[in-house]
Chains A and B, each alone.
Chain A
Amino acid sequence: MSDFEPIPPASVVLVSGASRGLGLAIVTDLLERGVKVAAFARTVTPELEALASKYPDDTHVGSVDVTDEKAAQAFVKEVEAKLGVIDGLVNNAAIGQDSLHVHTSSDRIAQIIETNLTAPLVLTRFVLRRLIGKGLRGRVVNVTSICGQRGYQGLVAYSATKGGLDAATRSLARELGGRVLANAVAPGFFASEMSAVLGANQLESIARRTPSGAMTTPEDVVPTVRMLLLEQTNINGQSIVIDGGGSI
């Protein structure tokens, strides 16, 4: 017989980049299911403020730049004091790119890597140190992208960070076996993001080429994040693509 003990559902979840889009949708979903949620973003939006007001005992919200290590660590300690030890982490904060590599400044490349790869690794390290040091177990969900697995023009540095985070997810799962389930969700392009750079005809064309017939929305991704945080599945070290089959 195995002495395997399932890792319990997360009870206090930290979501970075929670002010809008997927991050906000994840926060909303978890709060509706009774999970305590800490959420930060560079700017706290009225939508996030409204959630904090609606669930005052179950939320802790703050304005934190994920690349500010000290501020992020201080926020984690505030969360512990108010909600308890964080046993679920969703690394969602990221910045995008829409520039050919040869026309992207070295400063911008460094900024993309710092925000999308270094910062989540550092935040994960800090949260895990607090968790493991207290003998607890938990779950990590990294929000990556289909760009980490497929090539796309204008996204070289961004893709490198998302592929790097996918790789880190697998190594985390190995390294933390039995104590933490580490997984990633890899969404396809969100229609809301693409509409900023593509015309309506191009968006329709992409949707037509997608086997499901639709581009990805944040609401498509939320159920998988919820499952990875709350359900007993034994999924570990995986990057789950959610793109309507666009990349197959």
Chain B
Amino acid sequence: METLDRPAVRKLMAEVVAVQGKTLPDDDTAKLADIGFRSLDFSELALRVEDEIGDELNFEAAGLRSIETIGDVLDLLVEIQGQ
């Protein structure tokens, strides 16, 4: 399975945020709450990653509850691709 590396996922995340008229901060420690990145935005990002890698990413919701920063999102999506 093809996978996207962290910078590629970050690029897609920036596109999701841009659609909402916002700019993704460069700092990975930036809080999701501060940029208004919600669970459905995570879903949209995950589905965009799926489109790129040509495979489904199915995962439990438990992991989503602990993400708080941009870095957490990137870490989780890189991790899910490896499963």
Contacts and interface: CB of A to CB of B under 8 A. Distances in A.
A197 B60 CA distance: 10
B52 to A, nearest CB: 16
B47 interface: yes
A103 B43 contact: yes
Interface in A133-158: 153-154
Contact of A98 (B43, B46, B47, B62): B62
Contacts, number: 31
A211 B46 CA distance: 38
A108 B47 CA distance: 18
A104 interface: yes
Contacts of A103: 43, 46, 57-59, 61
B61 A154 contact: yes
B39 A105 contact: no
A34 to B, nearest CB: 42
B56 interface: yes
Contacts of A104: 58
Nearest to A154: B61
B61 A197 contact: yes
B11 interface: no
A198 interface: yes
A153 B61 contact: yes
Contact of B56 (A99, A100, A105): A105
A1 interface: no
A137 to B, nearest CB: 43
B43 A197 contact: no
A100 B61 contact: yes
A100 B65 contact: no
Given A103-B43, A103-B46, A108 B61 contact: no
A100 B43 contact: yes
B39 to A, nearest CB: 7
Contacts of B56: 105
A102 interface: yes
A154 B65 CA distance: 11
A16 B56 CA distance: 34
A99 B60 contact: yes
17 contacts: A98-B61, A98-B62, A99-B58, A99-B60, A100-B39, A100-B61, A100-B64, A102-B43, A103-B46, A103-B59, A103-B61, A104-B58, A108-B58, A153-B61, A154-B61, A197-B61, A198-B65
Interface of A: 98-100, 102-105, 108, 153-154, 196-198
Given A99-B58, A102-B47, A154-B61, 19 more contacts: A98-B61, A98-B62, A99-B59, A99-B60, A100-B64, A102-B43, A103-B43, A103-B46, A103-B58, A103-B59, A103-B61, A105-B56, A105-B58, A108-B58, A153-B61, A196-B62, A197-B61, A197-B65, A198-B65
